[in-house]
Structure 1
Amino acid sequence: MALLLFLLILLVPASNADWPPSPGYWPSSKFKSMSFYKGFRTLWGPQHQSLDQRALTIWLDRTSGSGFKSVRPFRSGYFGASIKLQTGYTAGVITAFYLSNSEAHPGYHDEVDIEFLGTTFGKPYTLQTNVYIRGSGDGKIIGREMKFHLWFDPTKAFHHYAILWSPKEIIFLVDDVPIRRYPRKSVATFPLRPMWVYGSIWDASSWATEDGKYKADYRYQPFVAKYTNFKAGGCSAYSPAWCHPVSASPFRSGGLTQQQYRVMRWVQTNHLVYDYCKDYKRDHSLTPECWR
């Protein structure tokens, strides 16, 4: 009997320990999926997009990448998409889902990023989250990067990635698991102007993979990303003043539950690979939220 129990233990996958605990709340369930053309339009590279059975495919080759943009700007809300990435050599390639007002405020814009940094054979993708406030294009780029190696292979299946943006905080979520919370500590360090939702694939060889060590290699083109299960809900820029911001938790006032904080700590303990606030080579006088 003892031998049988021992064998059963060996046969049970240990991978559950590598997955985050339940967050206890699933914000994505509060928003209906929409078809691509209901909420978005092609922004650039239309010849590098195709839509089939509600999934949008975009790709990068030597001639061009591709991008899309939401029809409406928002002043707060929940923005998500299920994404599947390409396997193999993808160094130098960025697959992104993000908020921005760069076209409305060129050279002086805000941006909230989920970016997948391409990789080389046998190495995992890096998921980079980032926040820019007023002026990432003015020559004084102040990024607020936190980077993760995920607890799953994002090339094997679709997973849901989301940004929840309210006037109080920004929450980044993966399959409804909060991985990062960026609170509003001052007006100067938080984006408050309306933003649109974007997605894109493009060549960022100068910095994307190991600080530019590995470049995009077009022998492996096209580089493909698939998006589906689009969700965008909240207060648009045209909503009445009484429109209430959405929450990442059951608390209507916003914030995370204790269980959500626990799972976020689990992710950051086990899967965080870079935190700008802990990079002592950086000038943190430019990121006062790191020491306040």
Structure 2
Amino acid sequence: MHKTLSSVRSFSFMALLFLPLVLILFVPSTNAGSWPPSPGYYPSSKFRSMSFYKGYRNLWGPGHQSTDNNGITIWLDRTSGSGFKSVKPFRSGYFGTSIKLQPGYTAGVITAFYLSNSEAHPGYHDEVDIEFLGTTFGKPYTLQTNVYIRGSGDGRIIGREMKFHLWFDPTNNFHHYAILWSPKEIIFFVDDVPIRRYPRKSVATFPLRPMWVYGSIWDASSWATEDGKYKVDYRYQPFIGKFNNFKASGCTAYAPRRCHPVSASPFRSGGLSRQQNKAMQWVQSHYLVYNYCKDYKRDHSLTPECWR
């Protein structure tokens, strides 16, 4: 009996020694699997960077911009926001920039990089958006992608929003965000990882008219953060967005018809490779937080691409 009791005590003592190791092995890591698999192809490395002034000009809020040769800082305060626009319009291309966002309370603030022809077609324009929706303390930024065709902000707009959280904090460092727009598809990228592909399924649901490239920061209190629940609080002004590492390669509106649309995959014909698709599916399964095609409150007769 004494021998048995001694063995039990020895076993219990050894179990206590190894318990911390067992717990370490079986408690899941909060960082495990948090980064997407490699896309295997890095389109941002295929296109030359340019300085801000080589490709862009001030559009509004010149007193709320600070530029150097390579980049621009824009900000929003109680008096104004700011925006810039590409010198040339394009009919296809790869458009990217590296952005660093402001930490803390940024509810109601939109920091955007997008394509549009709103000035050429007021009230009836096309747009392809990467928009960062400001947030409250302790909550992550939301990256919203959107595509709309021949619409405007007057109530006739049909949004095609897909919203994501990111696998990193976009306020810590610059990260690269890009749009590939060709006559047959639109692909959104974050650090070369494709997060969304919007294929052309009909002329009625795809933007084909030339567009300019824009960046801006502005007050969208009415809808930006939790459908307008949280507004811009100017006690935290100025709200700052930093842009650099601009890329804009493709066919300008003035290029000859023989200009071939660029690709953001290993295939000159476009699309995504199997590895790129795998990375995109991983992002959508882990970080997609809203998909307009899955929103049953929407009238999907207006978005036929959701059911074709």
- Bin the TM-score by the shorter chain: over 0.9
Match of 2:287 in 1: 271
Change in CA separation of 1:252 and 1:206 when aligned onto 2, cut-off 3 Å: same
Gaps of 5+ in 2: 1-17
Please state whether the residue corresponding to 1:240 is helix, strand or coil.
coil
Please state whether the residue corresponding to 2:281 is helix, strand or coil.
helix
| Counterpart among 167, 170, 186 of residue 170 in structure 1 | 186
Match of 1:86 in 2: 102
Q: Does 1:182 align with 2:182?
A: no
User: Offset at 1:52?
Assistant: 3.3
Match of 2:5 in 1: none
Please give the residue correspondences for 1:1-292 in structure 2 after superposition, counting only pairs within 5 Å: 15=31, 17-52=33-68, 54-292=70-308
Change in CA separation of 1:120 and 1:14 when aligned onto 2, cut-off 3 Å: closer
User: Offset at 1:53?
Assistant: 5.8
Q: Contact 2:51/2:69 (CA < 8 Å) preserved in 1?
A: no
Partners of 2:269 and 2:225 lie apart in 1 by 39
Please state whether the residue corresponding to 1:153 is helix, strand or coil.
coil
Q: Report which of the two structures shows the higher radius of gyration computed on alpha carbons.
A: 2
Q: Contact 2:53/2:69 (CA < 8 Å) preserved in 1?
A: no
Partners of 2:300 and 2:24 lie apart in 1 by 52
TM-score, length-scaled by structure 2:
0.91
Partners of 1:65 and 1:161 lie apart in 2 by 21
Q: One-letter code of the match for 1:62?
A: R
Partners of 2:32 and 2:84 lie apart in 1 by 36
RMSD: 1.9
User: Offset at 1:54?
Assistant: 2.2
Percent of aligned pairs with the same residue?
Answer: 83
User: Offset at 1:139?
Assistant: 2.4
User: Offset at 1:148?
Assistant: 0.2
Q: Contact 1:108/1:137 (CA < 8 Å) preserved in 2?
A: no
Large movers: runs of 4+ above 2 Å: 5-10, 13-16, 52-55, 136-139
Partners of 1:51 and 1:249 lie apart in 2 by 32
Partners of 2:296 and 2:152 lie apart in 1 by 21
Partners of 2:180 and 2:53 lie apart in 1 by 22
Partners of 1:30 and 1:216 lie apart in 2 by 38
Partners of 1:158 and 1:53 lie apart in 2 by 17
TM-score, length-scaled by structure 1:
0.95
Partners of 2:136 and 2:59 lie apart in 1 by 29
